[in-house]
């Protein structure tokens, strides 16, 4: 069973909160990149494109960590350690458009390129830490 | 030989840039936390306290990644993947006071607790990526 996200920090999924996503590369290397994220009530969702490095490595290594930050306060954040429990194209385009609305105020994601297949990664939280300074 | 940091992004070590530091925990788990950071011309430096989780895990697993962010632009950043090449208390107190000056405008680090032994981790960059949107 995924652990739940504390109510105190659910507002981070309504703000323009940048999540720093750590994924495993080969050997002991890790990649850390800023991403947009959302929440479906159980999973933290991130969105990428089929065939990109992030896509390829999350298919291989499901263990990921997100540090989801409050844009109004760098030292208020939610750290979610978990596993990619589902990878799907279903709803991925709707999700990236909803993220574009929230983060950019755009009606549609403006950086779509011909041939891009959007992918949704549903991350089941296993350990959650909050920091609220 | 550590790889060098592109001159285009050295300004990040003069700004109040938050670095998201990923470290290995046990198994395949990773911790990602915001930290202050600096640069000695070769290594990226982070500062912690002897005995803390971050201290214990970096002594065990030297592979780390930092995503160092521009406070004026979330999508301009420097990703540094590397190894903790040196761990020392020498200069660690001076370093945390210099960080307090840069990040807080304080003459001295204000969160020192009795018994805290500050530690400096010198990270040798092995792979550096820049994003400049």
- For residue A116, is pLDDT > 80? yes
A122 vs B2: CA distance, rounded Å: 36
**A106: its two tokens:** 């755009």
**For testing contact with chain B, the best of A25, A28, A30 (most B CBs within 10 A):** A30
Does residue B102 belong to the interface with chain A, where contact is any CB pair within 8 Å?
Answer: no
Q: Which of B24, B28, B33 is closest, CB to CB, to A67?
A: B33
Mean pLDDT of A43-72: 97
Tens digit of pLDDT for each residue in A75-92?
799 999 999 999 999 999
* Domains of chain A with bracketed CATH: 7-132 (2.30.110.10)
Q: Please spell the DSSP secondary structure of A83-109, one letter per residue.
A: EEEEEESTTHHHHHHHHHHHHH--SS-
Does residue B67 belong to the interface with chain A, where contact is any CB pair within 8 Å?
Answer: yes
Q: With CA atoms as reference, report the closest residue to B89 among B48, B130, B40, B129.
A: B48
- For residue A74, is pLDDT > 90? no
pLDDT means over runs of 10, chain B (133 residues)? 91 96 96 97 98 96 97 91 98 98 96 96 97 79
Nearest-Cα residue of chain B relative to residue A79: B32
Q: Helix and strand tally (H, E) in chain B?
A: 2, 7
A77 vs A23: CA distance, rounded Å: 19
The interface predicted TM-score of the complex, written ipTM, equals 0.94
Across all residues in chain A, what is the average pLDDT?
A: 96
Tens digit of pLDDT for each residue in B117-129?
999 999 999 999 9
Q: Which pLDDT score, from 0 to 100, does residue A133 have?
A: 65
Does residue B133 belong to the interface with chain A, where contact is any CB pair within 8 Å?
Answer: no
Residue count (chain B)? 133
């Amino acid at each position: 069973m995924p652990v739940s996200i504390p109510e105190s920090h659910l507002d981070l999924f309504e703000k323009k909160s940048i999540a720093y996503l750590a994924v495993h590369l080969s050997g002991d290397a890790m990649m850390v990149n800023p991403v947009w994220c959302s929440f479906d009530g159980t999973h933290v969702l991130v969105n990428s494109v089929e065939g990109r490095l992030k896509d390829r490595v999350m298919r291989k290594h499901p263990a990921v960590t997100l540090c989801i930050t409050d844009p109004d306060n760098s030292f208020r954040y939610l750290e979610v350690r978990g596993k990619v429990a589902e990878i799907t194209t279903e709803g991925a385009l709707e999700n990236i458009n909803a993220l574009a609305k929230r983060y950019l105020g755009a009606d549609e994601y403006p950086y779509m390129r011909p041939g891009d297949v959007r992918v949704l990664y549903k991350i089941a939280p296993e350990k959650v830490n909050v920091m609220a300074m």
